[in-house]
Amino acid sequence: QVQLVESGGGSVKPGGSLRLSCAASGFIFSNYYMNWVRQAPGKGLEWVAYISSSSTFIDYADSVRGRFTISRDNAEKSLYLQMNSLRVEDTAVYYCMGGPGPGDYWGQGTLVTVSS
Amino acid sequence: IQLTQSPSSLSASVGDRVTITCRASQDISSNLVWYQQKPGKAPNLLIYDASTLQSGVPSRFSGSGSGTDFILTISSLQPEDFTSYYCQQLNSYPHTFGQGTKLEIK
C-alpha cells in the first residue's frame, strides 16, 4: 500500500539546521510532483515547497525562500527538505504530500521544534 | 492568491446541514480542493476540482463553485464529521490554504 514516512524532525536552537526526509513506497514516486506542507501547533496548514517529478521545477513559500531547500532522489524514492537558519516560527509538524492527484498521499508528519 | 475561509468555527448538531465557504482573491477556475483533518492526523482529501468527490468519501459531502467563490456542504452531519476543514487552491504557486473551519458539536 502507499506510504509516505517522514523522519528527521527534532529540537533545534534558532539559527540551526535540520534535514527532513520522506521515504515513499507503494506508488511510482518518480512520476509525481511532491510537496512539503507544515502546521504550527494549534494553527492551520501552510504550503511550504514543491518539486517537480524530475526536479526541473521548484518553488517555495515566501516565508522559507532562501532558507529551505527541497530536493528528491527518485532512485531512492525519497524527498528531502534542508532547513537552515531556523526560526522559532518554523516550529511545526512537517508533512510530505504528493501523488497522482491533488493531496492524494500524505505522510504522518514529523515535528520540528525551534526553541532557545 | 489569498483564500478567505469562513466561518472559522461553526457549532452544529448531528443531522444538520452545514456550509463552509472559501473565497479566492482572484479567479482560480475550479482548481480548489477541500480537506478534512482530524486532531493529530494528516489531512484527508474530500473534494477535488471544486466539486468532484474523492473515492471513498461519503456522499453527504459535496462541493460547488468556480472562479472565486466555493462552498463545501455537508448534508447531514454525522458524529465523525466534527473536526476541521480546509480549502486549498491549486491554480498557481504558492498553493495557499484557507485558514480553516473548526466544526463543533452544539
Span B39-83, pLDDT tens digits = 999 999 999 999 999 999 999 999 999 999 999 999 999 999 999
DSSP letter string, B48-103: ETTTEEPTT--TTEEEEEETTEEEEEESS--GGG-SEEEEEE-SSSS--B---EEE
Closest Cβ opposite residue B96 in set A47, A102, A106: A47
**Residue A100 above 90 pLDDT?**
no
Q: Residue B104's beta-bridge partner residues?
A: B11
Span A72-85, pLDDT tens digits = 999 999 999 999 99
Does the beta-carbon distance from B98 to A35 stay under 8 Å? no
The mean pLDDT value for A53-59 works out to 97
Distance from CA of B97 to the nearest CA of A (A): 6
**Residue A102 above 90 pLDDT?**
no
Closest Cβ opposite residue B33 in set A44, A59, A103: A103
Span B8-51, pLDDT tens digits = 999 999 999 999 999 999 999 999 999 999 999 999 999 999 99
**Residue of chain B whose alpha carbon sits nearest to that of A111:** B40
State the Cα angle at A46 between A43 and A50, rounded to 5°.
Answer: 160
Largest CA distance in chain A: 40
Does the beta-carbon distance from A102 to B90 stay under 8 Å? yes
Q: How far apart are the first and last CA of chain B?
A: 33
**Residue of chain A whose alpha carbon sits nearest to that of B48:** A102
Q: What does the mean pLDDT of chain A come to?
A: 97
